[in-house]
Amino acid sequence: AALAAAREDEEEKELRQRFMAPPVSGLRELRRRRRELRSRMELLIMETQAEMCRALAALDPGASFTVDSWERKEGGGGISCVLQDGEVFEKAGVNVSVVSGLLSEEAARQMRSRGKSLKAKDGKLPFCAMGVSSVIHPKNPHVPTMHFNYRYFEIEEADGTKQWWFGGGTDLTPTYLNEEDAIHFHKTLKEACDKHDLKLYPKFKKWCDDYFYIKHRGERRGIGGIFFDDMDSPSKEEVFQFVKSCAKAVVPCYIPIVKKHCHDSFTPEEKLWQQLRRGRYVEFNLLYDRGTKFGLLTPGSRIESILMSLPLTARWEYMHNPPESSKEAEILEVLRNPKDWVH
């Protein structure tokens, strides 16, 4: 018994060192329920957060992450890790949240509009949601902005049956187009998808291009990647393994691009174009993003963490049109007409 307890303490110490902060559910609780998918998903999002934060910190040694653990009185909490005003990153955030409680009527309406038949008991729908979400805004206009998010949802209906699904994706938003980087990014994501089913990458690449569409501008937010939601088949275990492959692809698809360009020289005009593109990023996130909307509709949610995706600086100029055949016009062309990067 003493040996088992010592081994448990050792394991706990190792996990603590591996993560950015103690998990929301507590290490003991996660170990007790280690076979349950909810616990395995929480461990995966904690690991993904730590891997990404360490990879980013290694590229920006003068800066450090502020690590904020927060609690939600309605149930659960989260860990926000934000690096601000570094040499390489203007703002980089990697958040984990594990929340539970009762779904607000507004959030339930949003889900029903996506085709979910949710049968509430006395108007109440107990839910559990967890995910890791990150947005990275670099200083250099030649380093793209990147976003990823992987999440799991569980809802208990009136008769006690549980509905569950996964969602997520990873996408890239360059200020200037670099074809080599676009190919590397998409190929890495395609390899992660192909391990599970060759049909997934083309399907989720198209979904990504369609989802990150700024309707009022007639352009995509970036050059895409993968995006999926409401994924609940073939089985819980198979979808979890797929999500795990995608989460493990986050560092290799992005970090080499940052390393390659973070010391590139740039002009004030290029910086200005980056600020204008950031404005588009803000427009999408505040007007269309489903995650932002869900967060703002969830009682007791942490606004600072939800709006972490917004850049530190952005700009809106009246009637700004780049010259024809310029590098600025080149990226606009791809945002209006998405390309197949891997074939």
Q: At what angle do helices 250-261 and 179-194 cross, to 10 degrees?
A: 170
Domain-located, residue 63: yes
Domain-located, residue 207: yes
Domain-located, residue 311: yes
Q: What is the pLDDT of residues 38-81, one digit of tens each?
A: 999 999 999 999 999 999 999 998 889 999 999 998 899 999 99
Is 176 within 8 Å of 270 (Cβ atoms)? yes
Smallest Cα–Cα separation from 297: which of 156, 105, 137, 10? 105
The CATH number for 308's domain is 3.40.1500.10
Structure tokens at 218: 């007639």
Q: Which residues of the chain have pLDDT under 70?
A: 4
Residues with active-site annotation: 147
Domain-located, residue 343: no
Cα-based angle 290, 293, 297 (whole degrees, multiple of 5): 140
pTM, to two decimals: 0.93
For residue 111, how many other CB atoms are within 10 A of its CB? 20
Query: Rounded mean pLDDT of the chain?
Result: 92
Is 139 within 8 Å of 88 (Cβ atoms)? yes
Domain-located, residue 341: no
Number of domains in the chain: 1
pLDDT for residue 121? 72
Domain-located, residue 281: yes
- Residues pairing with 130 in the sheet: 98, 152
Is 144 within 8 Å of 107 (Cβ atoms)? no
pLDDT for residue 187? 98
Domain-located, residue 320: yes
Is 158 within 8 Å of 120 (Cβ atoms)? yes
What residues make up the domain containing 134? Answer: 1-336
pLDDT for residue 295? 84
Domain-located, residue 85: yes
Residues 6+ apart with CB under 8 A from 323: 329
pLDDT for residue 159? 83
| Residue for token pair 């890790």 | 81
pLDDT for residue 300? 78
